[in-house]
Chain A
Amino acid sequence: MHNASFHYSAVRAFFRLCAVVSALCLASIGQAWAHAHPESQSPVAGAVVSAPQEVRITYDDALEPAFSSLSVSDASGKQVNSAKSEVDASTHKTMRVALPVLPAGEYQVKWVAVADDGHRTQGSYKFTVK
């Protein structure tokens, strides 16, 4: 009887601990900032578009401007943007790079996003200018 009582107490403690930890994790998610991932891109991956004036990516986290970058290269791998990428000063979540007038062809976007706390993510995708 004593063993059974201890058993159920242990089980209850186990599940309560799991529930409390889960609740703490869920409560902390809203305050979290770490790896930054793209929420929206312009042009989007795989798009066929008229020559865009810029590439703009908005992330789900604030970026560290000094270590984040965005570049665009043509089909031969040559970088086409002469301007440096910049991060918006208000939210630090949108990175953009101005482009010259691009001739028709396929282009590759490469980005590195370093979040405020130093976590680094990267990505690449292509779009086509018609």
Chain B
Amino acid sequence: MRNALTRAAFGLAIASLTPLGHAHAVAGNRIFPSTLAVDDPGVGDELDFQFSHIRAPNDDGDTASVNTWSANYAKTITPNLAVSVGTNYSTERVPGNPAVKGFDNLGLGIKYLVYVNPVHEFMFSVGIDSDIGGSGSKAVGSSFSTYTPTIFAGKGFGDLPDAWGWLRPLAITGTIGQQYASDSSVPNQLNWGMTLQYSLPYLQSFVKNVGLSKPFSNLIPVVELAMSTCTSGSCSGSTTGTINPGIIWESRTAQIGLEAQIPANRASGNSIGVRLQTHFFFDDIFPQSIGKPIF
């Protein structure tokens, strides 16, 4: 029973680091990229694949090596409303024990773009992400469901005065969501994150052309902070997560991202992991069919 709970909690922690929906987010001159660990504030028709490797402590105090492959698909129903579905396949290895591997629970999400301010490059969305208990493998997926109402926001700094021109390519995004579990014995947690990004395409096209050529003119250096704070039970108040510096190469139809995953504190691990993303923008690849809103 304890092992099952441990696996469930560990799976929950890993799942909480993997955003469900990804979106193509445009506010004025700003295009917020689909960041790897923290969901961006937009909605869109998109397909996202990620691979993550990290070593993190589990509830038994052992350090587990976890490889996770994930696939997520988001579909717009209207221009402002999207639903998403996704899952992970993960392999967890603890020295001296057999590997635990399998599919995590199916994740479903819904997201609504509430407000866009093109002049100030600001976006704001709300959504609910859920993991359907029992839909994954018994080894990895938990038997209980989780529901996470979440707020997403993004702000570009393109409205800074001319004297601050070099800072205009900067943007920040953030999410905060309270996760509830259907099993009352499972602690609830606050999932929160933020990103700081510097868009070289923005610099080139809207601030100052410094003569960068491809692929450098398509790069967006980014730092993500993906965190989770336990809000109930014996773990209440403890926070885990990773700080992810990396780079995103962005094109009109796809992007590729690569990030390191640095544990934010001792409870989050003691070695650096890696996260790799391939992301497709269906609204640009299939603009006349599955890439546009249903209504």
Residue of A nearest to B204 (CB): A45
**Given contacts A15-B69, A18-B71, A25-B280, is CB(A122)–CB(B118) below 8 Å?**
yes
Asked if B287 and A14 make an inter-chain contact with CB atoms under 8 angstroms apart, the answer reads: no
Residue of A nearest to B91 (CB): A11
Q: Which residues from B are CB-within-8-Å of A121?
A: 26
Instruction: State whether the Cβ of A41 lies closer than 8 Å to any Cβ in chain B.
Output: yes
Asked if B137 and A7 make an inter-chain contact with CB atoms under 8 angstroms apart, the answer reads: yes
Instruction: State whether the Cβ of B254 lies closer than 8 Å to any Cβ in chain A.
Output: yes
Q: Which residues from A are CB-within-8-Å of B254?
A: 25-26, 29
Closest CB-CB distance, B39 to chain A, in whole Å? 20
Instruction: State whether the Cβ of B115 lies closer than 8 Å to any Cβ in chain A.
Output: no
Instruction: State whether the Cβ of B89 lies closer than 8 Å to any Cβ in chain A.
Output: yes
A-side interface mostly: mixed
Interface residues of B in 103-158 (CB under 8 A from A): 103, 118, 137
Q: Which residues from A are CB-within-8-Å of B118?
A: 122
Instruction: State whether the Cβ of B286 lies closer than 8 Å to any Cβ in chain A.
Output: yes
Interface residues of B in 280-295 (CB under 8 A from A): 280, 282-288, 291
Instruction: State whether the Cβ of A38 lies closer than 8 Å to any Cβ in chain B.
Output: yes
Asked if B291 and A34 make an inter-chain contact with CB atoms under 8 angstroms apart, the answer reads: yes
Q: Which residues from B are CB-within-8-Å of A60?
A: 252
Q: How far apart are the CA atoms of A60 and B207 in the complex, in Å?
A: 19
Interface residues of A in 34-71 (CB under 8 A from B): 34-35, 37-38, 41, 44-47, 60-61
Instruction: State whether the Cβ of B49 lies closer than 8 Å to any Cβ in chain A.
Output: yes
Asked if B208 and A46 make an inter-chain contact with CB atoms under 8 angstroms apart, the answer reads: yes
Asked if B208 and A29 make an inter-chain contact with CB atoms under 8 angstroms apart, the answer reads: no
Instruction: State whether the Cβ of A123 lies closer than 8 Å to any Cβ in chain B.
Output: yes
Asked if B287 and A34 make an inter-chain contact with CB atoms under 8 angstroms apart, the answer reads: yes
Set A7, A18, A47: member contacting B49, Cβ < 8 A: A18
Q: Which residues from A are CB-within-8-Å of B47?
A: 21, 25
**Given contacts A15-B69, A21-B47, is CB(A38)–CB(B205) below 8 Å?**
yes
Asked if A32 and B284 make an inter-chain contact with CB atoms under 8 angstroms apart, the answer reads: yes
Query: Nearest 10 A-B pairs (CB), nearest first?
Result: A46-B208, A44-B209, A34-B284, A34-B287, A25-B280, A117-B287, A29-B253, A32-B285, A125-B206, A45-B209
Hey, which bits of chain B sit against chain A, CB under 8 A? 26, 28-29, 47, 49, 69, 71, 89, 102-103, 118, 137, 162, 165, 201, 204-209, 252-254, 278, 280, 282-288, 291
